[in-house]
């Protein structure tokens, strides 16, 4: 009889990272004595009060987050940096277990970062890989309370690039949750207000970082994903361009362009741009790490020569 109960529970927990609550064990038919016996003999583990995990189930970060969500009163969801980790966007931090709850009625644990809010509607919650988490829109808004604006911008670009959300959806979320004093909303609102309506999303996180470096150095925002044409012929689509100065910026990563064929193709594109009277400038990781002084000086020198 006990084996049947264990087998039933294992099937339930298998779909939920090996974790379950006391209520689930009760529904399956376990008595208090049976629960206690399985804890004492090591067949179950109890990471939080009222939350169990079958011993031997993989102890992944996601399983730990799921256990943390189960530890809260309903509704509790993974949020902020933990939700960013679930979505795999910038701002993620797997060293934390960060959750949001309408009301946290349990004890605090040192391993948890708990946010309490009354503004946690059904439209702010979803399930990813069996884990209840905030939606991508709510996650991006919440990141503004715990991350630098540059990180939030990178997360926004990553989410749009992967078609997880849209600018319109983010604007609607800010309007709905943008009450006075709500933490994080100001960062996302400002990013959306400063974003040009016709700006094309970057194709990589490094391209977003490049825009941030240029902005920090006081340069104007270039046109992203710009198509260069010459005499009615398509030349290239570049990562960013200062059209009035005919400067084409492209992030150059040896990681992605390491074989001979790719390098030859890149050189051919550069030659075609130069023939069309454009100046191609390669941006490398060192430029982003060092703050972009060399890169920005190159751009300004070229702009001055063009003006002259």
Model confidence, pTM: 0.88
Neighbours of 299 (CB within 10 A): 20
Residue 179 pLDDT: 72
Residue 265 pLDDT: 80
> What rounded mean pLDDT belongs to the chain?
91
Average pLDDT over residues 265-282: 91
Residues above pLDDT 70, as percent of the chain: 95
Q: What is the CATH number of domain 205-307?
A: 3.40.960.10
pLDDT band per the 50, 70, 90 thresholds, residue 106: low
The pLDDT of residue 198 is above 90? no
Between 67-71, 106-110, 113-117, 222-226, the lowest mean confidence (pLDDT) is in 106-110
Average pLDDT over residues 123-151: 97
Residue 254 pLDDT: 60
How far apart CA 287 and CA 149 sit, in angstroms, is: 20
Q: Pairing relation of β-strands 125-128 and 223-230?
A: unpaired
Q: Are the CB atoms for 234 and 241 separated by under 8 Å?
A: no
Residue 169 pLDDT: 96
- Alpha-carbon distances, residue 255 vs 61, 90, 139, 285 (angstroms): 28, 20, 30, 11
Residue 202 pLDDT: 93
Q: Are the CB atoms for 150 and 212 separated by under 8 Å?
A: yes
Average pLDDT over residues 120-129: 95
pLDDT per position as a tens digit, 35-84? 999 999 999 999 998 999 999 888 899 999 999 999 988 899 999 999 99
């Amino acid at each position: 009889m006990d084996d049947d109960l264990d087998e039933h529970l294992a099937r339930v927990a298998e779909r939920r990272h090996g974790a379950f609550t006391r209520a689930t064990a009760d529904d399956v038919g376990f008595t208090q004595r049976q629960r206690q016996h399985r804890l004492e003999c090591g067949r179950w583990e109890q990471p939080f009060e009222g939350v169990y995990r079958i011993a031997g189930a993989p102890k992944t970060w996601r399983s730990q987050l799921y256990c943390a969500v189960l530890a809260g009163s309903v509704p509790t969801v993974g949020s902020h940096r933990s939700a960013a980790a679930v979505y795999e966007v910038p701002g993620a931090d797997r060293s934390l277990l960060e959750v949001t709850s309408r009301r946290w009625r349990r004890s605090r644990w040192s391993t948890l970062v708990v946010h309490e809010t009354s503004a946690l509607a059904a439209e702010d919650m979803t399930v990813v890989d069996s884990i209840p988490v905030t939606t991508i829109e709510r996650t991006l808004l919440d990141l503004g309370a715990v991350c630098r604006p540059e990180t939030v911008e990178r997360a926004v670009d990553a989410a749009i690039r992967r078609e997880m959300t849209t600018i319109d959806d983010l604007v609607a979320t800010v309007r709905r949750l943008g009450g006075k004093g709500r933490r994080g909303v100001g960062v996302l609102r400002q990013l959306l207000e400063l974003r040009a309506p016709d700006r094309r999303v970057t194709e990589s996180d490094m391209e977003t970082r490049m825009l941030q470096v240029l902005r920090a150095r006081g340069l104007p925002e270039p046109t992203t994903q710009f198509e260069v044409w010459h005499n009615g012929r398509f030349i290239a689509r570049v990562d960013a361009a200062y059209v009035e100065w005919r400067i084409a910026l492209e992030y150059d990563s040896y990681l992605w362009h390491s074989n001979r064929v790719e390098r030859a193709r890149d050189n051919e594109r550069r030659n075609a741009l130069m023939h069309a009277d454009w100046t191609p400038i390669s941006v490398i990781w060192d430029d982003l790490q060092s703050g972009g002084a060399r890169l920005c000086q190159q751009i300004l020198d070229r702009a001055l020569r063009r003006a002259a």
